[in-house]
Structure 1
Amino acid sequence: MSPDTHRATAAAILPLVGGPDNITSVAHCMTRLRIGLHDRALVQDESLKALPAVLGVVDDDTYQIVLGPGAVARVTPEFEALVEEGRAGAPRAAEPPRPVTAAGLADRGAALREARKARNATPLKLFLRRVANIFVPLIPALIGCGIIAGLAGVLTNLGLLPTLVPALAAIASGFMSLIAVFVGYNTAKEFGGTAILGGAVAAIIVFPGVAKIEAFGEHLSPGQGGVLGALAAAYLAVRVERLCRRWVPEALDALVTPTLTVLVAGLATLFGLMFLAGEVSAAIGAGATWLLAHGGAFAGLVLGGLFLPLVMLGLHQALIPIHTTLIEQNGYTVLLPILAMAGAGQVGAAIAVYVRLPRNRSIRTTIRSALPAGFLGVGEPLIYGVSLPLGRPFVTACVGGAAGGAFVGLFNQLGVAFGSTAIGPSGWALFPLLHGGAGTVPTLAIYGGGLAVGYLVGFLATYFFGFTRQMLADLDTDPDPEPTSTTAEPAKQPALT
């Protein structure tokens, strides 16, 4: 798409979220434009979902508009620019027309989102979302470095371009070697501290000189504790900084507060947090390996079957620290290919809904527009626009995800372990990021086989068990029939009795 197209998309979205004066913050993740709002009531949900570029919306702690990978990174700066122009008095884009969509399902999906939001505003879940917000901005770098690492591996296996491989390895590894610093920076920023102080404290973890320090009877190693240690260290720095701001006189604040923050949090990191976070990280790695080695098929079934509800609840990004820890330890996360099978079950279920409702043009149009994103692992449009409002197809989609997860998990149990070198993509978009000890071809074949199983089981489960007779009677009609031509021969009218 051209820059004009991205600006047009941003211009179409802005009035539908209440205009520039209703915007408090703008950010984006892998697939979503995340907007903070003054007044949620000003948002026109149905008009947003009717825009061709919008794949779905998620109403959470921020209002999230699903635009898909790639597009969101280009639309966001245009949206930010329009917000600034609008606040400065620039003309605002006119509201686009509202095309006909599957309005009934959309309304029901919106109601389910509202109910889900009310149920999940607990302190624990809000904290988990904040943790997810720390890692979401890192995903583009994880993806780029992961693909470059995979390319370096392919060239090494093929014996090609040996002089280029070390350069690619350096490019891929540079970010990962300092990821703790970025996590610390984002943690302090998310929890209301000075971001650079969070990064400074987290940088202690990757400093080579920590090898000279002994804690709990052992010498520390650079990187010990990884992203979990960085998160804990930066969060502690925020608490120390807030305490200092409260008690340190203003005249001394610029000198005393940053010094005490880095000193206190740094000592706690070196003589406690690094060791403890290292033990937790090691337990996560050992636990994931043991789980798939001993309960592969069953573990895959459970993980693949439960992931869609996590996506529905918006809690799936709380798994990012676990994925990142596994990537730090092993070079890839074995969990992501299994969890990706949930999206395959969702796609299969949506295709079955399409086949079972041949007369409902509205729902079929929604499915056709959302399926390409579904194949690439963006599941929200199909979840909130099709399966979840219908009820049963959401359950049968989970069955498809469980079957695909069991397939991939079985091969892990048989010793063919593989994973993703980065997090973020799913579906077909995950193929370039796959890596395993069995080689490229077996790894791709097993993952592709898992997707096929997920598609097939999701389709069959939904086709045969996704609808009751009454549901079919109610849904398999055209809610918006095309008008007949005025020149056509009039149809015979039924006799009145």
Structure 2
Amino acid sequence: MDHKQIAKELVPLLGGKDNIISASHCATRLRLVIDDESQINKQEIEDLEGVKGAFSSSGQFQIIFGTGTVNKVFQPFAEEIGLDDESAEHKQKQMDHNEAVKKKMNPVSRFAKVLSNIFVPIIPAIVAAGMLMGLLNLMNRFGWADGDSSLYILLDMFSSAAFIILPILIGYSAAREFGGNTYLGAVVGGIMTHPTLLNPWGLQEGGVEPEMLNFAGMNIELLGYQGTVIPVLLTVYVMCWLEKLFRKFVPNMVDLLVTPFLTIMSTGFIALMVVGPLGRLLGEGVTTSLSFLYDSGAGFAGLVFGGLYSLIVLTGVHHSFHAIEAEILGQVGFNYLLPIWAMANVAQGGAGLAVWVKTKSKKMKEIAGPSAFAAFLGITEPVIFGVNLRYRRPFIGAAIGGALGGAYVTITNVTANGIGVTGLPMFAIANDPVNYAIGLLVAVGGAFTAAWLLGWQEEEQQPKKEETKTEKDSEEKAV
């Protein structure tokens, strides 16, 4: 496909250059902020070569191209709309529109977006750590290397580093989202993982108790926050609020010296004495509740979560799950939610595969096949929005397959060593590859069968730009 031509054709279909406020892209989609969405020609956009679907959500108009294609379209598209416009008028227009978009979003969507903005940039680090842990598991299982060997020790260091400094990574990312100094946020994360504080993993190993420090009549438990999420998020939020407060009354000439000093000192005390311990209790409460539901449900949790996950994806709230998964991973040592999400994702691929086999539409075959394969790799947006949701019933079939697969991996206690990786790539971090493989077959097979049996109404293709013979004859008679 000619990516430049597609980008050029997109602009008028979106209402012109002036109607596009801002543009960005993720792994699969163009994400556009549009001034007036009534000017968008959605039907013709979806008919463009390479487009797998288009929809509006949370104040953005999103066009699905798929992995590897979206970035190639985005570059010429950005040139077409003048994305590098740095004028004050353009920036102010962007800010005003973005504020209006935020006001339209409900509190749950806003909260999910905040967590998404914080955790999505961190996911590659956690994915790399999880993959390394999976490699270590394979080395243990098949005896590829001795546990005392230099290779094993080095890989163990590499795999655990991301979780040891996770509060620092979260501190940096959260400060950027909350409007504070990112490096101060990283320092706060460093304070909460300082070597003076006992690593909480020492408590799980038994026989080790944290020291107590008496300060101003209060006992401070010298226990670190390695691998935790909620305490760091709350602390950095407080830090950003304090930083903005100090900047209001600190003179500009000494702002560089005084504001960071006051911010770090006050936040450090608050973190270790108040916010950190409260955040730890909250995180443990969330983890304990989910673990209880998972352990006592006998597959029920997997059935429900696997069936509903794709619906949650439609709302965008699923991005907030990264925080919960990271908290579980840090507290428990493994992630029991990710295999359930994986079942829901591959089930969408199974339903898309049914559409690919059964549909008579050439355009839909071109979309459904590659989209289903992408879902098997954990990328579901193309098949959800471009295929299954368009016909509705295949989406229901995918939910059935996801529920069946989720129940199976829950009953067989399949877990993962990381977050963010689903589908076939999750084999590298799954604790039980055999049962994980069976779960994939159950999810894909169940979704394929359910979608096939439910059936769907094929869309009638209307002729575009070319007149039918009947229309032409009618015009000649009229003349």
Give TM-score, length-normalised by structure 1. 0.75
1:192 to 173, 179, 182: 179
Query: Taking structure 1 as reference, are residues 122 and 86 closer, same or farther at Cα in structure 2, changes over 3 Å only?
Result: closer
The residue that corresponds to 2:351 in the other structure is 349
The residue that corresponds to 1:461 in the other structure is 450
Alpha-carbon separation, structure 1, partners of 2:167 and 2:223: 14
Deviation string, structure 1 residues 381-428 (Cα, Å, up to 9, x no partner): 12212222323332232111111111111112xxxxx32222222211
2:136 to 152, 175, 182: 152
The residue that corresponds to 2:161 in the other structure is 174
The residue that corresponds to 1:368 in the other structure is 369
Contact 1:205 1:226 in 2 (8 A): no
Percent identical among aligned pairs is 30
Alpha-carbon separation, structure 1, partners of 2:103 and 2:250: 41
Query: Taking structure 1 as reference, are residues 58 and 231 closer, same or farther at Cα in structure 2, changes over 3 Å only?
Result: farther
The residue that corresponds to 1:99 in the other structure is none
Deviation string, structure 1 residues 185-216 (Cα, Å, up to 9, x no partner): 11111122221122222221111223455488
Alpha-carbon separation, structure 2, partners of 1:37 and 1:224: 42
The residue that corresponds to 2:192 in the other structure is 205
Equivalent residue pairs, number: 428
The residue that corresponds to 2:293 in the other structure is 291
Alpha-carbon separation, structure 2, partners of 1:288 and 1:421: 17
The residue that corresponds to 2:96 in the other structure is none
2:150 to 156, 160, 163: 163
Shift of 1:218: 6.3
The RMSD of aligned alpha carbons is 3.6
Alpha-carbon separation, structure 2, partners of 1:466 and 1:120: 36
The residue that corresponds to 2:203 in the other structure is none
Matched to 2:381, the amino acid is E
The residue that corresponds to 1:433 in the other structure is 429
Shift of 1:147: 0.9
The 5-angstrom pairing of residues 244-263 of structure 1 reads: 244-263=246-265
Deviation string, structure 1 residues 316-337 (Cα, Å, up to 9, x no partner): 1110101111222333311010
Shift of 1:361: 3.0
Shift of 1:127: 1.9
What are structure 1's unaligned runs of at least 5 residues?
90-116, 413-417, 437-442, 484-497
The residue that corresponds to 1:273 in the other structure is 275
Contact 1:143 1:423 in 2 (8 A): yes
The 5-angstrom pairing of residues 4-83 of structure 1 reads: 9=3, 12-13=6-7, 16=10, 22=20, 24=22, 26=24, 28=26, 31-32=28-29, 34=31, 56-57=53-54, 59=56, 60-61=58-59, 64=62, 66=64
Alpha-carbon separation, structure 1, partners of 2:49 and 2:212: 57
Contact 1:188 1:198 in 2 (8 A): yes
Contact 2:46 2:54 in 1 (8 A): yes
Alpha-carbon separation, structure 1, partners of 2:288 and 2:377: 30
Alpha-carbon separation, structure 2, partners of 1:396 and 1:36: 32
Matched to 1:424, the amino acid is G
Alpha-carbon separation, structure 2, partners of 1:370 and 1:129: 25
Shift of 1:353: 3.2
Alpha-carbon separation, structure 2, partners of 1:222 and 1:316: 29
The 5-angstrom pairing of residues 127-142 of structure 1 reads: 127-142=111-126
The residue that corresponds to 2:420 in the other structure is 424
Give TM-score, length-normalised by structure 2. 0.77
Is 1:326–2:320 an aligned residue pair? no
Contact 1:224 1:275 in 2 (8 A): no
The residue that corresponds to 1:124 in the other structure is 108
Alpha-carbon separation, structure 2, partners of 1:331 and 1:297: 21
Deviation string, structure 1 residues 343-387 (Cα, Å, up to 9, x no partner): 232222223334444x33333332123121122121111221222
Alpha-carbon separation, structure 2, partners of 1:140 and 1:9: 28
